[in-house]
Amino acid sequence: MAHGRNRDGPRVRDGPRALGLRHPANAPVAPARRRRSFDCPVRDVLDRVGDAWSVLVVQRLADGPLRFNALKRRIEGISQRMLTVTLRHLERDGLVSRRVIPLTPPQVEYALTRIGRSLCDPLDVLADWAERNQDAVRRARGKFDAATRTAIAPGP
């Protein structure tokens, strides 16, 4: 919606609200729906495992505890900082435990907790689905992108 002032100074509204229409995104939400939108367990889990690295960390730790550098070597492309941040988030969520090994220099080992191990089966199902459907998803993306390019291509 655009707001502006006409020459005489009063505020002028145009757009859907000027006609008394409401945008669906601005429509009031019932209290139960509002609560679900920010207190949804699925959304909460997806916020954690839906990032670029958490799934890979959980998958690598599924075979057993690993020290930081061993874990880093098993995840191609992850930086030390990103692995640290990811492990801290997973530890905060109770999916990973951190154990300091009293050696000189001290070493740290990471392992999945009971809750973290319980996430492995659903992640395996998701990984299997992704592998089975990867080609179909890529074809759909290509078809959509081609249609979108055609629809917005400049005319002659």
CATH number at residue 103: 1.10.10.10
* Domain membership flag for residue 53: yes
Range of the domain at 36: 9-152
Q: Round to whole Å and give the CA distance between 118 and 93.
A: 13
- Total domain count for the chain? 1
Question: pTM above the 0.75 mark?
Answer: no
Q: Which residue reads 């002028």 in tokens?
A: 12
Query: What confidence score (pLDDT) does residue 38 get?
Result: 62
Nearest to 86 by CA among 59, 114, 122, 126: 59
Q: Round to whole Å and give the CA distance between 92 and 108.
A: 16
Query: What confidence score (pLDDT) does residue 150 get?
Result: 75
DSSP assignment, residue 6?
-
Query: What confidence score (pLDDT) does residue 5 get?
Result: 44
Residues of the chain below pLDDT 70: 1-38, 153-156
Which pair of structure tokens corresponds to residue 115? 């809750």
